Amino acid sequence: MRDYYSLKINLPAGIVSPGYLQNVLSLAYNANVREVRFGARQQLLMTVHYEDMRFLEKDLKAHQLFYEVNRDEYPNIISSYCGEEVFRTGDWLHEGEYHTVLDSFDCRPRLKVNLSDSSQSFTPFFTGNLNFIASPEPHFWYLYIRPKQSNSVFRWRELIYTNEIGPLAKALDEAMLDEGQSDEESLYRAVTAKRQYITQPATQEVELPEFSLPYYEGFNRYGQRSWLGLYRREEQFSIAFLLDLCRLCLKTRIGEICVTPWKSLIIKGIEEKDRAGWSYVLSKHNINVRHAANELAWQTEDHSDEGTRIKNSVIRYFAKQDTRTFGLCFGVQTRPKSEVFGSVLIRQRPLLRIGLLPLFSVYDIYFADNFNPNSRTYHLFERGLLKMMLPGQIERLCRKFGMRHIQQRPEILRPEPEETPPMADTAPLIHQCPHCLTVYDEQFGDALRGIPAGVPFAKLPDSYECPTCDAPKKEMREVQLVDSVMG
């Protein structure tokens, strides 16, 4: 008999109410579970001792809570909801639209379903079997299909109306899994023969943004409120801390907690008057909320201690070498058929086996096409490495990415002026972010956003954001340079 079981509870779209989470965690705590994880598909995961499992299952069934043990027949619906309003606000896609989509499902999908804002890069676009991506047309979505056990993706010929996503997903689920349909034409015939859907012609491919992972940890202001991002280095959250978090959410009238694909949490809508309460809870449980950005850009498999150890060893090397990883994210794959999201991918494979038991493993390093983690094409960088060789080779690949980026963007490199211009009588005006105090000075432009020197602030596009905290252009304030430096 196995000693432990892996239990999974889906949190559709990565959204969970504090009351629901508090209920689940209380039952788990009564079954002697002390720590839980959040999965790459925004689920709640826990490891339960076999002697406690029957009691926990009895309680979960009594509360009519759906769960799975040691299987994943019903993958969670994942979404970019966690980033809405805090990282990116779409032209028409707002938080309420996600709830409308979820309400359109009348059963649990067996296929992986992704719901994504096309303007963000915080959550993956094509890791699902059914990948719905917001189109420029209000309330209509692209659909990109990736059949199970396949790496090929094709676009549905029509845009799908928001309320039709659930019914169409159910029809595709049946056609692909029960009827064995997989190619574009047969799937379209099988699904549309049963009923008509509200659609529009999809005349072009979706336009996706260049990948840039926002810093998603700590307290950050947006509007008149703040959001809080929580990450744990070992991917484990203590139930005692999460129960205090749920109680504080209920006390301060925060109705939702968001789970991200980076195995972290985001709490939106924190009022300024409640900040002290949140700081108290973080201090009580010794929760650090300012890890290095390159530590946050990793994905490991669920329940993978080996993947976590590899991640941490590379991060320590990055810190020692002061390695720049901006624009990259990393994935660690230790199981053959698992999926992780990354512009750089580390794959473990056994070199020797006795039966099915691997005795010695080596590692291969791949990078995504154009280093875009949403690409389904990977290129081999190094093969057959020992674990101790991984950090140095990954840093070498990071440097290659940096040089490639410079070669593609030569216009941002400007020679130093030979003569220093005379000082003006009045200090020049610049624009400063009120949240993180980053400044935009037209003399230098913004290399991170690809803005060359000499572009006035007024000429920047309305979509321009602070390169440090992603605050929108409209929130930046005009100040004199002397005030910014000395005041």
Using one digit for the tens of pLDDT, what is the confidence trace for 37-68? Answer: 999 999 999 999 999 999 999 999 999 999 99
Same domain assignment for residues 404 and 359: yes
Token pair belonging to 11: 């949190």
Q: Flag whether 82 is in a domain.
A: no
Instruction: Confirm whether pTM is higher than 0.75.
Output: yes
Averaged pLDDT for residues 228-246? 97
- Give φ, ψ of 28 to 5 degrees: -65, -40
Q: Which of 408, 440, 471 finishes a domain?
A: 408
pLDDT at 467: 78
273, 299: one domain: no
Residues 192, 225 share a domain: no
Residue 417 reports pLDDT greater than 80: no
Range of the domain at 269: 218-293
* Residue 424: per-residue pLDDT: 44
Question: 23 in a domain, yes or no?
Answer: no
State whether 378 and 356 are in the same domain.
yes
Q: Is residue 46 part of a domain?
A: no
Domain count, the chain: 4
Domain assignment present for 363 = yes
416, pLDDT greater than 60: no
What would the pLDDT profile of 339-363 be if each residue is shown by its tens digit? 898 999 999 999 887 777 777 899 9
pLDDT band, residue 411 (cuts 50/70/90):
low
pLDDT at 393 over 50: yes
| CATH number reported for the structural domain that contains residue 234 in this entry | 3.90.480.10
pLDDT digits (tens, 9 = 90+) for 147-204: 987 888 999 999 999 999 999 999 999 999 999 998 999 999 999 998 999 999 998 9
> What's residue 250's pLDDT?
98
